[in-house]
A = this chain, B = another copy of it.
Amino acid sequence: MRRLISLVILVLLPAAFPVARQRVHADLILTGGTVVTMDAERRILAPGAVAIRGATIAAVGPADAVTAAWEADSVIDTSGQVVLPGLINTHGHAPMVLYRGLADDLALMEWLERYIFPAEAKTVSPAMVRTGTRLAALEMIRTGTTTFVDMYYFEEEVARAAREAGLRGVLGQTVIRFPVPDAPTPAAALERARRFLEAFAGDPLVTPAVAPHAAYTLDRDALVASRDLAAKHGAPLLIHLSETEDEVRMVREQTGQRPVAYLEALGLLGPRLLAAHAVWLDADEIALLRRHGVGVSHNPESNMKLASGVAPVPAMIEAGVAVGLGTDGAASNNDLDMFEAMRQAALLHKVHTRDPRVVPARTALAMATIDGARALGMADRIGSIEPGKLADLIVVDMTRPGQTPLYDPVSHLVYTTRGTDVRMTIVNGRVLMRDRQVLSLDETQVLREAREMASRVRAAVAAR
């Protein structure tokens, strides 16, 4: 087994390992399992332990050392399980879980025009966004996502539902050229975005963001205004970028430039920008993204299902671009399971490049954790299990027949683990799921409300 048994105990808190027998108090200790830290040394502690105090990771180390130095009212045995940083889903549209499986396997325009657009026009509302986000939150908590990035309408409802569920979110109010359910014009959407940024400023879980939809669905002025609004508030900018070949063609026709150069000319490129998809990039564009510190969200399942293309992930990583993983909305995936996204990232690029060494398991796992945090500019707070970081972590079972035997936990996390193997989900020190029981949401009620909303979606599509 390739486990790295670390001999050193790293702690940032000075009182972490007092000399005497008196142990320091933590709120929660997870001990006995394999801790996959995703720290800079990629330490794997087996058996390892993590002590949590308040919203923060207080100590990480070999199980014996941590339990000798720390005590807590709640000590959880994680034997046979892996303790992992919570997964970071860097791109999606949470409420679209309500359109999951509504229509598949169609040409893109037919899918959009016959199903998704009519459904959105007739059913997107604050109530729909609330119901959909609760359902999405349930699925994310159950499958080990602790931070999600979102671009949708009525984003304040997404934010409230995320807060209620206990999930961390980087949540962007959409700005788009067309009239949409929450704004008749880009100007109105920008005003909504401004109010949203103000309302959630400083929230411990929600990072409010501005989400200009894409270079081809906004004019120059709206893109620049989005940039300025985000800059004024120090907020992230979320955008779809070069998802399809058609998009690149349209931007060239409209602006004479390829999308990345166009966004650079408008001053949108920078560490604040998170670009979703980034499928159709040439080498110059990859270099531009790197130079400006733009983060990328790779969405392999959506890109496959919609036949968008294969993003140049190995080249982006090689160039030093921070590449995270996303699921995209459940209408084009059809789930929010980041374990599937990891597996797909590992498999897709191997066959595409004809090189089985490409995107190894350790890279796919990094994309779903620390590299996702880097893409978001949040690597100082989330993405790895290190003292002083926020206590966002998950406990994953490793004992199913399909995970047996276990030679290498990193291999299993990517190649054989399902989201349904997650047993425990903790965000900001709060236990959102324990023994597969979600504690922060009423699952029965969420599912019932989602099914009721689905009957309206069905009617909307039938009546189109």
Contacts and interface: CB of A to CB of B under 8 A. Distances in A.
Q: How many copies does the complex hold?
A: 2
Contact of A356 (B108, B348, B404, B443): B108
Contact of A416 (B100, B111, B412): B100
A340 to B, nearest CB: 8
A24 to B, nearest CB: 36
Contact of A142 (B308, B309, B402, B450): B402
A350 B332 CA distance: 13
B356 A306 contact: yes
Interface in A419-453: 419-420, 443, 446-447, 450-451, 453
Nearest to A310: B351
A354 interface: yes
A352 to B, nearest CB: 8
Interface in A315-362: 333-337, 344, 346-348, 350-351, 353-358, 360-361
B412 A447 contact: no
A407 B98 CA distance: 10
Contacts of A111: 356
Given A334-B415, A347-B305, A354-B309, A360 B101 contact: no
A457 to B, nearest CB: 8
Contacts of A104: 360-361, 408, 411, 415
Interface residues of A, number: 70
A143 interface: yes
B454 A405 contact: yes
A406 interface: yes
Given A356-B108, A420-B418, A458-B407, A307 B350 contact: yes
Nearest to A244: B354
Contact of A105 (B105, B310, B357): B357
A38 interface: no
A333 B101 CA distance: 26
Contacts of A107: 355-357
Contacts of A210: none
A138 B402 CA distance: 8
A220 to B, nearest CB: 30
25 contacts: A101-B406, A101-B408, A101-B412, A104-B411, A105-B356, A105-B357, A107-B357, A135-B404, A142-B402, A304-B350, A304-B351, A305-B415, A307-B350, A307-B353, A307-B355, A307-B356, A333-B415, A334-B415, A337-B402, A399-B447, A400-B420, A401-B447, A404-B451, A405-B453, A420-B420
